[in-house]
Structure 1
Amino acid sequence: MHKFIITTQEELTLIIDKSVSKKLDGLRELIMNKVNPSKQKLTVKEVAQKLNVTELTTRNYIQKGYIKADKIGRRVLIDASELEKSLTEIKSLKYKRL
């Protein structure tokens, strides 16, 4: 059973471009992740540098519950995605009307 589709050259070009770009987008994302891997866990020092505060301030934020952290032995590690969530929550609370 064969199906024949009648289309114009422009429609065919559009269909091919869409299907090729879908495949290339996945490949581009894979290449970018390999070239620039995102670090999953950050140390207190790295978070302090990222937020432009001292390490003590970062530890205080963790203690107060503003930033979620995991303690593994003596090391304190902060998940990068959780840090971003924490920052957006703090910003929304900062500008919340009472």
Structure 2
Amino acid sequence: DIAPKLEEAAGLLDTNSRLQTEGKWSAESGPKAFATKYEKYLTEEVAALQAMAKNARAFADKISTAIDMLMKNEGDAAAWLDKEAAKIP
């Protein structure tokens, strides 16, 4: 399952972003400015990975429903899945 891996990656990046301290980068203006931008980038990546995990779970749920529909010989399962997948960002 991909969602747990995405969530794990988000957690690792979140931990990394919290390690961006003055002790690591010093108080000099150049490194401090870079550290601020780097921390912002990491925070944005955490949010992106969390969104991907949420979307992966939503898609997996729709696939599961489509498989159930196919098992019941419901012919419109593929069309339904296409429609539902299009709703996931």
Is TM more than 0.5 here? no
What's the TM-score once normalised by structure 1's chain length?
A: 0.30
Higher strand share: 1
